């Protein structure tokens, strides 16, 4: 390794100490360190991710150490996965479900990567949403949520998969989740858990009517088309990873499909497995 990027959530107080630990490790091993700080906040666009990409393209890091919780990892995935930069996420938040390395094992993991040039990756599918006009594009590691500004009424959505009509949903909202994101909002809405390495997506309605409409698992290679009610002039609201919002004003279809890149999560002997995480976070025996 020649250069490491640290992407840190400055809203978590204890991350400052972890940055200093990485800095000392880099000095000891004669590795250059670059730091990008951020503070999570919902946005109406992906301007932050664009700035992070611009900064990172000049740095050319070998990897990015992510210090924060799941929200920090989700933002880092959107910013760095298109650049092909592998991530080593370190959990400093309180709720993190996606992150497999702890601060206690952080330096051990870095030592391992420094002495083992052949790295092993856990590649995760990401999704891309675009409007019919292609003027809007968003990416998501976890999920897209499609809803309307008026949250007091059921919303109607017509769904097609690969240009084949599926059904009309009436629900508070729709979740289009990756396998990685199945343990997030999808799980809270009673969608199925999917092993994150699988090439699947799940369409989960929130409070659907009639209630026999259930979540539907599809291939991540499928193209999902979502049409708003023809007789409803309200815009659609698209939320990516619970962080970035886009309002779609015209009554055109929304396309969701696999992104042309994957997220590379670095694996080391010092991380926990997905099933260990399930047992720890969900109280499984």
Active site amino acids: 70
Burial of 92 (0-12, 13-18, 19+ CB in 10 A): buried
Distances from the Cα of 139 to the Cα of 13, 25, 136, 210, angstroms:
29, 33, 10, 31
β pairing state of 32-38 and 3-9:
parallel
Q: Where are the alpha helices (H) located in 34-190, listed in sequence order?
A: 47-59, 70-80, 106-115, 185-188
Asked whether the beta carbons of 127 and 241 are under 8 A apart, the reply is no
Q: Which residue has the tokens 């200093």?
A: 20
Residue closest to 259 by CA, chosen among 139, 115, 151, 163: 139
Backbone angles phi, psi at 205, to 5 degrees: -80, 145
CA 175-78-68 angle, to 5 degrees, is 95
Question: What token pair was written down for 152?
Answer: 């007091």
């Amino acid at each position: 390794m020649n250069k490491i990027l640290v992407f840190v959530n400055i809203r978590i107080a204890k991350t400052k100490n972890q940055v200093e630990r990485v800095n000392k490790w880099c000095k000891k091993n004669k590795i250059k360190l670059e730091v990008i700080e951020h503070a999570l906040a919902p946005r109406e666009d992906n301007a932050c991710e664009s700035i992070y990409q611009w900064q990172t393209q000049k740095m050319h890091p070998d990897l990015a150490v992510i210090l924060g919780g799941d929200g920090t990892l989700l933002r880092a995935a959107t910013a760095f996965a298109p650049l092909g930069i592998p991530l080593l996420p370190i959990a400093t938040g309180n709720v993190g479900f996606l992150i497999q390395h702890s601060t206690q094992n952080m330096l051990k993991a870095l030592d391992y990567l420094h002495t083992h040039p052949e790295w092993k990756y856990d590649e995760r599918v990401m999704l891309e949403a675009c409007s019919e006009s292609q003027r809007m594009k968003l990416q998501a590691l976890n999920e897209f949520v499609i809803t309307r500004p008026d949250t007091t009424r059921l919303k109607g959505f017509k769904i097609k998969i690969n240009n084949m009509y599926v059904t009309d949903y009436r629900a508070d909202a729709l979740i289009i989740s990756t396998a990685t994101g199945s343990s997030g909002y999808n799980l809270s809405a009673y969608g199925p858990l999917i092993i994150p390495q699988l090439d699947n997506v799940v369409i989960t309605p929130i409070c659907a009517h009639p209630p026999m409409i259930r979540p539907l698992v599809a291939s991540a290679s499928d193209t999902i088309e979502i049409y708003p009610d023809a007789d409803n002039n309200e815009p659609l609201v698209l939320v990516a990873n619970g962080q970035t919002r886009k309002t779609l004003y015209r009554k055109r279809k929304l396309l969701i499909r696999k992104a042309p890149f994957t997220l590379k999560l670095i694996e080391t002997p010092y991380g926990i497995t997905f099933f260990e995480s399930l047992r720890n976070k969900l109280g499984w025996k």
